[in-house]
Structures are given as C-alpha cells and as structure tokens.
Amino acid sequence: MSHPSDGKRMTVLFSEERIRERVAELGRQIRADLGSDEEITLLCILKGSFIFAADLARAISGPVAVEFLGVQSYGDATQSSGHVQITHDLTNPIEGKHVLLVEDIIDTGLTIAYLVQSLLARSPASLRVCALFEKPTEEQKVRADYVGFQLGDEFVVGYGLDWAQRFRNLPYVAAIETD
C-alpha cells in the first residue's frame, strides 16, 4: 500500500481500529492507576504524539489538563541524532501535578531519559511515561510505564509518526521502506 503522494512501499502493522481499542485500554488503565479524582496533566511531546495524545486525553475519564512540549532529536533522519533540542517549552508549571509524559515512540530512550530528568527537576507530584510504541533493547535508557505496542526494527509512520514530516495524517501505522 502506498500513500497517494509518494511511491514508498508501506505495510500496515496496526489498523485504525486496533489503535483505537488499545488507546481506550490505556486510558482505563491510567485512570485506574492514578485514581478517579486526581487531575492528570497530559504532557504531549510534539510533533509525533499529538494525535495519540488527543485520543488518549479523550480515553482518560475524569479531570485531564493538557500541556505541550516540543522536542527534536531526529530531524529528517530515520535514526535519532542523540542530541535533544527543546523547540517549545511548557506554558504552565507542573510543580505538584501528576504528569503523564506522552511520547509516540521510544527507541533508544535518549530523548525520554533527557525529558524525565528535566521534568523531575520541576517537582511534579508524580511523573509517568506513556508511549504508543516501544522498541525494547538492552541499551534502552528508559522504559515506559504504559506501552501501546512493541515494535522491532522497522521504521513506522502514520497516526502522528512521520518520515521527513510526511505521513503523520495516516489513520493507521505502517512500516515504510526508507532506502
């Protein structure tokens, strides 16, 4: 299957329906873990997790606030540069708040490790990580508290994930041929 604007080969890994089901499960689990009365500050890591974060926010019952943090570590490459750059900082303090850091994918874990360290310095009441995808390896620096799906080495696009800023709008997640 190929995207209308590109001749790249893609293989659908997770359908729109499967993603919707898993996000609903994550929402229920997160709310159960944090309690029904606790406000959760959902911290969306831009740009890749914006679609996941929007759906997750709707899947978590009870009080939810939303913040955004812009981070760049890939540029146009298919592998992390290892250098994390904050491109948009929080607009409100998180001190004393229950924060759920929402990431699209944890690969090496370098970005999340940097963000967790940086955010803990801001004194939240709690800090948990939720990733739509995780590529578990022994070298991975941080593991998510909540994971939608495990991945292997494939490079994926869709549902907010991109390749050179393209394919974010696909309603499913697909492995893409990048060579």
CB atoms within 10 A of CB 67: 19
Cα gap 127→100, rounded to integer Å = 6
E-strand stretches of 3-145: 10-14, 40-46, 64-72, 85-88, 98-106, 126-134
Active site residue 6: no
Cα–Cα separations (whole angstroms), residue 21 to 16, 101, 159: 9, 20, 14
139 DSSP 8-state letter: T
| Catalytic residue from among 33, 55, 104, 107 | 107
Q: Which residues are catalytic?
A: 107
